Amino acid sequence: MLVLNNKCNFTKNEFIDYQKELQEIAATADVILCPTAINISNFNLTNISLGAQDVSKFSKGAHTGEISASQLASYNVKYCIVGHSERRTSFHETENDINLKIKNLLENNIIPIVCLGETLLEKQENLTSEKLTNAAKKLKNNLTKEEVNKLIIAYEPLWAIGSGLIPNITELEQNLSILKQNFPHNKILYGGSIDTNNIKIFQESTLLDGYLLGGLSLNPTSLKKILKILKNN
């Protein structure tokens, strides 16, 4: 599974051109494209599934600027990223907000892709295991078992996002195994500075079900390369 997070990129025409290139991608893996919200209505690919980057914690009403889960569902959105570190940090999103968002998504049959990960400071202070365990606990406390089992979990160390830095395989497997213990029935993805050279390192993992790509999602040529590498392994 490959989740493409376009973040706040592509004007309308740029997105149309980008999609033309993605059209050629053979559906060799489950690929989910999460465009900027305004480009969702221009999505017209049949080889790729549609995702969103965020959703409102409100179900409808007087919440200027928000987009609800039912509105996303009405545009055939099937997946939605929740709790991305950029939303937690820049938009002060709390665990409670994330929980409300997950509930709204599930009520509308949209699969949440929930992002979790440690900061650089937490990693340096050997607090990663505690951070991931606590985050998993908080998430599960507020959801039923059935709800938990529907989530896709994305392990995204904050220090790896957009930085060019990646965990080594030992570190990766250690952290993924914490998530696997907490989410034994869920798909687990990794995201953070994946590129066409380092993807091989992640392929060594026995615990990963796929990848979340930010920067690389903007480059169809690199995407095609990644899909080729994944197909050949």
Contact between 166 and ligand PEP by CB under 6 A: the answer reads no
Crossing angle (nearest 10°) for helices 169-182 and 128-141: 20
**What gap in Å lies between CA 20 and CA 57, rounded to an integer?**
33
Q: Shortest Cβ distance from residue 194 to ligand PEP (Å)?
A: 6
122 binds ligand PEP per the rule CB under 6 A:
no
According to CB under 6 A, which residues from 184 to 223 bind ligand PEP? 191-194, 212-216
In terms of CB distance, is 144 or 162 closer to ligand PEP?
162
**Does 112 interact with ligand PEP (rule: CB under 6 A)?**
no
Size of the site for ligand PEP (CB under 6 A): 13
Question: Binding marks (x or -) toward ligand PEP, 4..23, rule CB under 6 A?
Answer: -x------------------
Min dist. Cβ of residue 14 to ligand PEP (A): 18
Residue whose CB is less far from ligand PEP, 59 or 225: 225
Say how far apart CA 216 and CA 223 lie, in whole Å.
Answer: 7
R_g of the chain computed on alpha carbons:
17
Is 210 strand, coil or helix?
Answer: strand
Nearest-approach distance from CB 85 to ligand PEP, in angstroms: 7
Burial of 53: CB neighbours in 10 Å, binned 0-12, 13-18, 19+: buried
Residue 156 interacts with ligand PEP (CB under 6 A)?
A: yes
Coil, strand or helix at 57: coil
Non-local (6+) Cβ contacts of 188 within 8 A are 152, 153, 154, 155, 176, 179, 180, 207, 208, 209
Catalytic residue among 14, 84, 86, 122: 84
Q: Which residues bind ligand PEP (CB under 6 A)?
A: 5, 156, 161-162, 191-194, 212-216
